[in-house]
Amino acid sequence: MHKISNVKLYLTETFQNQIIGYGGFVDWPPRSPDLTPLDFFLCGHIKGQLYPTPAPTFQDLRRRITDPCASITLAMLHNVQREIQSRVQMCIVANGEHFEKYK
């Protein structure tokens, strides 16, 4: 979270108690790809539409990113939340070390 007071004030007013990061309301593990939904869920969700062929235009590239994001359902988000809980347990078992096998 930004430490500049005007930025912090804006973020707090805009997002209330949903701020993630240092000094935010939601604790978040720093630099932990095994526990970060952007790494273990979103990148894979987008990758299938982003990379099959080169995007001919910037607009097509943008659509290949925004369409998968727009297709995320509440059920998918609930699954991600459950996955985080499971991954936290795996992280504890691994004594905080990385536990996911990267391809």
CA 40 to CA 33: how far, in whole Å?
7
CA 43 to CA 7: how far, in whole Å?
28
Return the residue matching tokens 């992280």. 91
Average pLDDT over residues 71-90: 92
Percent of the chain with pLDDT over 90: 30
Domain boundaries, the chain: 1-30, 31-102
pTM: 0.58
Amino acid at 52: P
- The encoded tokens of residue 46 equal 């987008």
The string of pLDDT tens digits covering residues 45-80 is 999 888 888 999 999 999 999 999 999 999 999 999
By CB atoms closer than 10 A (0-12, 13-18, 19+), residue 35 is buried
Percent of the chain with pLDDT over 70: 82
